Structure 1
Amino acid sequence: MNRSMISQRISSILDDIQRLTNALYAMNTTDIQRYPDNYEVLSTDAALRAEKVTCRLRHLIYSSTAVKKADYLASAATAQGIKVRYEDGVFEVTLPGMLPKRKQWQSAEYLLDSLEAALSQYARGHPLPHFEHCVIAFSLIYNRDLPERRIRDYDNLELKQVQDLIAAFVLTDDTGALCDAYHTTTLGNTDQTCVSIMDRERFPVWLTAQKTE
């Protein structure tokens, strides 16, 4: 890629950053108590713009430097706070923040590429479990310091793409004939989405532990 093309892409990204800055200024001056709907629209717009900027910067790195995509995404997964672990028969993936509404799922690349990198990196250093008849538990954790009106219906969240990606690593198949789905919502110190996969026989013990925490 020549210098002129790189400059054009950087200028375009700078324009996106300016729009993001404007959205953040608008968020900062909006009364969240009086105009919660306006604040939600502004904050969602800002978040999606930030994700778009990140994805565009990633592609610029891939096309104009010697940095390998896999190496960068492994670092991105760490920076985003994606965690993968397998303990006591439960394979757990923790994602930072809440998944967006389905109609806002415009930047899947931002999360899914990093998630795939995190799973691949874990697989290189650890033996992966293989589940056939299992339970997939989605735990949506909302920051208790923020308004509870943020809590959304489970069918208004884009969980399927995340499930499909994780399934490719540890499941025989995520068909309903083999896998049961469980959803729960709790309050915590920060927004998180946790996906836990376990054999069906392990699920009652896991559920009891969750309710006593």
Structure 2
Amino acid sequence: MSIFLEVLGQAESKLKQMAQQMENIRWMAENGRYDAALENALRLEYNSERLTLLTRALPGYTGNPLAKAHVEKAIREAVPVEVGYTEQGWFSLRLPLLLPKKEKGSTEFIRGFLYPAMGKFFQGKDPVRYPDCVMIFRHVYSRDRPERERRDHDNIEVNIVADIAALYTLPDDKPDVCNHYYCSAAAEQERTEVYVVPKADFRKWLDVEKAMPDEGVKLLPELPVSG
């Protein structure tokens, strides 16, 4: 059996497993067992990421030399990452999702859409380097999400995003070069925002954050010229 059919079979098996999980979750919710529904919903989310990885790999096993380019295009369209600079000159990216809990979600899933997005943004551009900065993770939750469902900052998988952002914005990610700061906010749509801000501007960012619009600040395609 070819590797293509083997991976297709794995995807089919995962899809059947997820269908059963959804039935179970529906029954739990209809019977008021929301704690159990939440636990099983997280398992479903994990399996959906595994299924995504399988289906991403599938086109490549056809042997078509254009498969990788087509997959990367589909990822950019399905997971629209916003990359740019704020009007203050701070680098920023916006992911249209919340990052998974540590050891619960697939970092390969994140790597699969963030690398192409960053590569496309910096194509033909020199990376920007902030030698002494703060990398900020702003976790934006839906206003409808109960407070108890918000995650502890130290239980969120941020390392893969930090590593990829550092490739394009930092000389390196040693502690003496870049500190990390985590905060949460509420908006209409859930997402994760990342900012790379010079340490001298950090207090200014805190003031700006208080008045950020619901949809997030405007991002510019080029670093604004100061002065």
What TM-score, normalized by structure 1, do the two folds share? 0.89
1:8 paired residue number: 6
User: After superposition, what is the alpha-carbon deviation per residue over 1:114-160, rounded to whole angstroms, capped at 9, x for unaligned?
Assistant: 10110000001554321110111110111111211111111111111
1:22-41 matched pairs, under 5 angstroms: 22-31=20-29, 34-41=32-39
Whether 1:100 aligns to 2:100 is: yes
How much is the aligned-residue C-alpha RMSD, in angstroms? Answer: 2.0
Indicate the SS of the match to 2:140.
strand
Indicate the SS of the match to 1:104.
coil
Q: Read off the aligned partner of 2:139 and give its amino acid letter.
A: L
1:26-65 matched pairs, under 5 angstroms: 26-31=24-29, 34-64=32-62, 65=64
Deviates more, 1:41-50 or 1:30-39: 30-39
Q: Residues 42 and 67 from structure 1, CA distance in 2 versus in 1: closer, same or farther, beyond 3 angstroms? A: farther
Q: Read off the aligned partner of 2:90 and give its amino acid letter.
A: V
Aligned residues with identical type, % of pairs: 24
Q: Read off the aligned partner of 1:103 and give its amino acid letter.
A: E
* Preserved contact between residue 32 and residue 39 of structure 1 (Cα < 8 Å): no
2:142 paired residue number: 143
> Gaps (5+ residues) in structure 2?
213-227
Q: Read off the aligned partner of 2:14 and give its amino acid letter.
A: D
* Preserved contact between residue 75 and residue 113 of structure 2 (Cα < 8 Å): yes
Query: Structure 1 segments of 4 or more deviating over 4 A?
Result: none
Whether 1:119 aligns to 2:118 is: yes
Deviates more, 1:42-51 or 1:22-31: 22-31
Distance in 1 (CA, whole Å) between partners of 2:124 and 2:43 is: 38
Distance in 2 (CA, whole Å) between partners of 1:5 and 1:21 is: 24
Deviates more, 1:202-211 or 1:25-34: 25-34
1:83 paired residue number: 82
Whether 1:191 aligns to 2:190 is: yes
What TM-score, normalized by structure 2, do the two folds share? 0.84
Distance in 1 (CA, whole Å) between partners of 2:28 and 2:76 is: 32
